[in-house]
Structure 1
Amino acid sequence: MSKREFKSKGPELLADLAAHTAAISIELLNLDQDAAEQLGTELAERMAGHWGGQNLYFPMGLSLQLTKRDNQIYAEFDGMNHSDLARKYSVSVQWVYKIVKAVRRAEMARRQEDLFQE
């Protein structure tokens, strides 16, 4: 199926998925335009074949974004810069304390789990 046929026959969501996949493929994988468009179309067609007819909900990824932000705050934390980090990330100083404590606890749990793995 050509790109032109896909866009004219495919639902808007699938056409948008194909376009975004192509753009990311060019940006991150350095694919040429034709290969990127082919990859985008193939991915959209496969998703339609696998999940077609189902109602899907795509979360906004807020928890993933918060996790990234929290890890950045923890990485930049030096023990004395609570206020600076709070301003930089638009959170309260108390929230910085909670983030540092939570990430530290998660890191310790992960390390302990690694100790007992074979």
Structure 2
Amino acid sequence: MELKGIEYSINLFVEGVGLSIDKAFEKGSTKEEMTKIFLETFCDYCGGLNFYFPKKYAKDCQNAARDRLIRKEFNGKNHRELAVKYGISLHWIYKILKNKNSN
């Protein structure tokens, strides 16, 4: 499935942040070096992309990421365990699993 629009940009951004963090920890020995390496790597990877982060969107992104993890970790019978792990109701777990196609 090909990602389009905002989902593609978000995935590219997240991948860029992850790679940049990995490289910074691998090659930097001081906070300043790590910051410089992170920014250089991130700019190389995501340079040219435009990002706008509305305040409300952060919570939506967190919930979407949580929901994807819940779907990924679901084994068919661990509803209650997931509810406890993610601090949400059992009813909400069922709702997330039912709406597989969202997020």
TM-score, normalised to structure 2, is: 0.49
Which has the bigger relative contact order, CA under 8 A and spacing at least 6? 2
Max Rg structure: 1
TM-score, normalised to structure 1, is: 0.44
